[in-house]
Amino acid sequence: MSNTDMSMRGKIIFYEDRNFMGRSYECMSDCSDMSSYLSRCHSCRVESGCFMVYDRTNYMGNQYFMRRGEYADYMSMMGMRDCIRSWRMIPMYRGSYRMRIYERENFGGQMYEMMDDCDNFMDRYRMNNCMSCNVMDGHWLMYEQPHYRGRMMYLRPGEYRNFMNMGYSGMRWMSMRRIMDSCY
């Protein structure tokens, strides 16, 4: 792999204990189950790229967006109840952003096409909830509260027919932003 290819990839180092102590594991790709590398993870360092980390295996549970930086005790910083169990590297993307959000599951109800950030679905579209979407272009973060707060969900290109079936039963999604971070 050339130096150019290496600089375009993310790199994250996980540590068993807080403050970058204990055994560590370095990674440059996705991982659906950390248990084969470390029994626990309580701190990490993102050397390049952006990552979504999850507190359950197979990219499930609460999600947290991490950009370049040091997270000496991210559990208290982010209010995480458990340690990281899986993660995804968010690929660098420089194209246009486009997605359709729907009021109901299976692309039902009101539909709006988005190409930029929206800090409040209710204010902009008079939409009480977003229960499905189709991401055509770009990588997005959806938040349960207006103004990009609360729990979040990472959306990459694809169809998302029912957020409840994805483990988000009872949650309302109220804002969304494009992942445009230049983390590399």
Q: pLDDT per residue over 150-171, tens digit each? A: 989 999 999 999 988 877 777 8
**Containing H/E element for 159?**
strand 158-160
Is-same-fold flag (3-90; 98-178)?
yes
pLDDT tens-digit map of 16-41: 988 999 999 999 999 999 998 988 88
Residue whose C-alpha is closest to residue 25's, from 85, 91, 92, 90? 85
State CA 7 to chain mean position distance: 21
State whether CATH 2.60.20.10 applies to domain 98-178. yes
pTM for the full predicted model? 0.85
Residue 25: strand pairing partners: 14
* DSSP-derived secondary structure letter, 36: G
Answer yes or no: are the C-beta atoms of 176 and 135 closer than 8 Å: no
Q: Where are the domains of the chain?
A: 3-90, 98-178
pLDDT tens-digit map of 112-151: 999 999 999 999 999 888 999 999 999 999 999 999 999 8
Confidence of residue 81 (pLDDT cuts 50, 70, 90): low
For the structural domain made of 3-90, what CATH number should be given? 2.60.20.10
